[in-house]
Amino acid sequence: MSMITATTWVPRGFAAPFPTKYVFDEDEFERISSLAKLQLDDAKDDLEEAQNEQKEKENDTSGALDGLKTTDEMDDDLKEYDLEHYDDDEQEGGGDTMAMFGNIKNLVYHEENEDDPYITMPGQDEEDDEREELQILATDNLVLAGRIEDDVAHLEVYVYEDADDNLYVHHDIMLPSIPLAVEWIDLPAGKADKNAKGNFVAVGTMEPDIELWNLDVVDSMYPDAILGQGAEDGAKPKKKKKKSKKANEEFHVDAVLSLAANRQHRNLLASASADKTIKLWDLNTTKCAKSYSYHNDKVCSLAWHAKESTILLSGSYDRTVVAADMRAPDAVAPRWGVESDVETVRWDPHDPNYFYVSTENGVIHYHDVRNAPSNPLETKPVWILQAHDESISSFDVNPIIPGFIATGSTDKQVKLWNIQASGPSMVVSRDLGVGKVFSTSFAPDQEVGFRLAVAGSKGAVQIWDTSTNAAVRAAFASKVPEMHGEVKERLVGIEEDDTDSDSEEGEENDDEDDGGESMEE
């Protein structure tokens, strides 16, 4: 089984022209040793907790459950790891060294020996070839995709070469759990210099911690920083506190469902979790600056206001949307209600007085933020649209072309919409062969403003140049005057669609100019 759960774009010009290979030096060895020891401490704590729970069950019941290992059997299984003496100085390999890296300091490179053809060192030509293979041009975009395949989770870093119709995996990053949210950030974690720039990604998974990775380093073993209870100073390890499962002010205790980087206050990253809280992180300190509890169910989507940079829009499974000022956590924030669980919230980048909400019932709501209801049950949107018969699992608003939005659904359809003064009208509906659609995201740059990244349950990423679709060209010709003439429709992906049914269906739908049911209030 392979599926892609989330994607996002990296704007042009931020990736290093020649990403560096990961260097495992002595400092990195010490950092990883400390992080690994923390994980081992966690494992020991979990084991101890499980043993205590088992003892309680044995005391509370007349007999032990069949099939469960006894405490003695569990201890026997762990004897080979000698966890009790892990910290002892006399332990072979050193108490502060991970077993898997115990002999790392004894490893040496063999000098090139002309008499032994089997012992060689990489030549300069090989290094130059490898460096050239890693090169990223200023005209390239990166596309980040969270993938789960056979219970192994990782983040794939794609390079998209628009002029050459080429999309390929540049490198990937191993993740601890199923990725649920991927957000690009341009500030190095832990750097207090507000002018510093970087090329990093924040990843939220089924685990409560948020990992930050440097995209300009290939083959990294551990994240550059961790936001959450798992964060520790690798150079100065200390005993971790016992894991907390109760929502608190310092870190998440359940899956991270959404991430939103503040583009004006670049050190701020907001996160939403299944623990019903929103956390605001300071990337300079990698600590939680503030925690908010605006919802009484899982918080699944976040979006910062483009102009009022401290206003954060949040959507929840409690069927409400809140627009709150992060500077005034105790103030009563305006709240809107919808008919089912919220899936995605987005501000209108072309008119910041409005925002969109997509829901599990396949409905799009368009709201005027100035018309907040006194009671969420009495919410009156500007218009609503029944865009899909199934859940709108992905939704995005084009940042370049006004009134251009895309919806993706578990019905496997991607639909493009033209938002006009009278309301929305469907431009085209397509099955792009990605299965159930879990992610649709528009490119952030003017030169590739019509490109849409689409991914889903089949594990394929497709880049759709929507400007090559006849219906799209007709719909937005007045908004983008340079669109004229006929072009061949273009779809770029690593896994091309093998069937003709999708393209035939798309051709049939190209002429449609209206779809769904919209209603103005």
* Tens digits of residue pLDDT in 357-398: 999 999 999 999 999 999 999 999 999 999 999 999 999 999
CA–CA distance, 193 with 176 (Å, rounded to integer): 30
* Residue 491, pLDDT score: 86
CA–CA distance, 517 with 425 (Å, rounded to integer): 9
Q: Is the pLDDT of residue 66 over 60?
A: no
Give residue-wise pLDDT tens across range 298-307: 999 999 999 9
Dmax (CA) for the chain in angstroms is 85
Give the confidence band of 92 by pLDDT, cuts at 50, 70, 90: very low
Name residue 345's beta-bridge partners. 357
Phi, psi of 467 (to 5 degrees): -70, -15
**Going by C-beta distance under 8 Å and a sequence separation of 6 or more, which residues neighbour residue 185?**
198, 200, 201, 202, 212, 261, 266, 269, 283
Domain-wise residue ranges, the chain: 21-114, 400-521
* Residue 247, pLDDT score: 87
The 3 state secondary structure assigned to 30-63 is HHHHHHHHHHHHHHHHHHHHHHHHHHHHHHHCCC
* Residue 194, pLDDT score: 72
CA–CA distance, 398 with 449 (Å, rounded to integer): 7
Give residue-wise pLDDT tens across range 416-449: 999 988 889 999 999 999 999 999 999 999 999 9
Which residue from 20, 11, 19 is spatially nearest to 139, judged by alpha carbons?
11
* Residue 503, pLDDT score: 39
* Residue 149, pLDDT score: 93
Give the confidence band of 76 by pLDDT, cuts at 50, 70, 90: low
Which residue from 205, 302, 294, 223 is spatially nearest to 259, judged by alpha carbons?
302
Decide which of 433 and 25 is more confident. 433
Give the confidence band of 61 by pLDDT, cuts at 50, 70, 90: low
Q: In what order do the strands lie in the sheet with 278-282?
A: 256-261, 268-273, 278-282, 287-292
Which residue from 355, 351, 261, 365 is spatially nearest to 304, judged by alpha carbons?
261
Name the CA radius of gyration of the chain, rounded: 26
For the residues 149-157, what does the mean pLDDT come to? 94
Name residue 384's beta-bridge partners. 365, 519
* Residue 489, pLDDT score: 77
Decide which of 232 and 175 is more confident. 175
* Residue 69, pLDDT score: 54
Cβ proximity of 32 and 38 under 8 Å? no
First to last CA, the chain: 44
